[in-house]
Amino acid sequence: MEIRVGIAKVGKYGTGVSGDSVEVVERPRGGVSIVIVDGQGHGAAAKRTSHMVAAKASSLIGDGARDGAVMRAISDFLYAQRDGKVSSTVTILSADLDHKSLVISRNTNSPVIIGHGDGSSCLDAEVNPIGVHRLNRPAISHWPLFPGTVLVGFTDGVTHAGRYHGGEFELGFVYQLLQSGTQDAQELADEILHHAIELDKGRPADDMVAAVLAIAPCDRGLGIRRMTVHYPF
């Protein structure tokens, strides 16, 4: 098997910089985590916050901390750094090879969609953002690490797309993509982001991130790993 990651993101139209940050981290005992952070507000200030939080989370994961502990630590970190006056929403999608499981950690109201052999599931319980409460509890879910399983995470710029234009981003669109059976994580992320931008008439009303982590069947062979990044400037 192999882990496939696809990420597509865009900033709010006219701001010049996205306030969302995404990091992909190799886990020290095997596997990969995607850290998705939406900083409060827009533009450079939001970017500084989200980048600070994402970098802290990535460092802790790289040090071997468990995802639940990471979520609590970054909440305390942001609370201390910004005196409880600035919030961020965070989603961490992990393929943990040490424990042979998929781990979904949320401090956000944006859902995570899981495509699996029995259909699709949605994790959408309301959870407080980090940074504004001294004690904060993330929502943690574990799923078996089976081939064909796909995790899809977003920031609220995607799930709120179209609200100013009489439209609405429907999770059914994501379910249909997953039912197509594609294992191309980047293609899935691109399709979701493109659909959200279309709902906003080509001018994103908020920063947007779509991130996909898929477990696909694969002949290990030499175990070659690949990463491709597109960074327009």
Tell me which residue range forms the domain holding 151.
2-216
Q: Output the tens digit of pLDDT for each of the chain's 233 residues.
A: 899 999 999 999 988 889 899 999 999 999 999 999 999 888 889 999 999 999 999 999 999 999 999 999 999 999 999 999 999 999 999 999 999 999 999 999 999 999 987 788 999 998 999 999 888 899 999 999 999 999 999 999 999 998 888 888 999 999 999 988 777 999 999 999 999 999 999 999 999 999 999 998 887 778 888 888 888 88
Residues 108 and 90: beta-carbon distance below 8 Å:
yes
- Predicted TM-score of the model (pTM): 0.93
- Residue with structure tokens 């001294």? 134
> Does residue 225 form part of some domain?
no
Phi, psi of 89 (to 5 degrees): -100, 145
> Does residue 83 form part of some domain?
yes
- Residue 51 CA to residue 125 CA, distance in Å, equals 25
Give CA 8 to chain center in angstroms: 10
The domain total for the chain is: 1
Q: Based on the number of CB atoms within 10 Å of its own CB, is 181 exposed (0-12), middle (13-18) or buried (19 or more)?
A: exposed
CATH number of the domain encompassing residue 187: 3.60.40.10
> Does residue 226 form part of some domain?
no
> Does residue 130 form part of some domain?
yes
> Does residue 233 form part of some domain?
no
Helices (runs of H) and strands (runs of E) counted in the chain: 5, 10
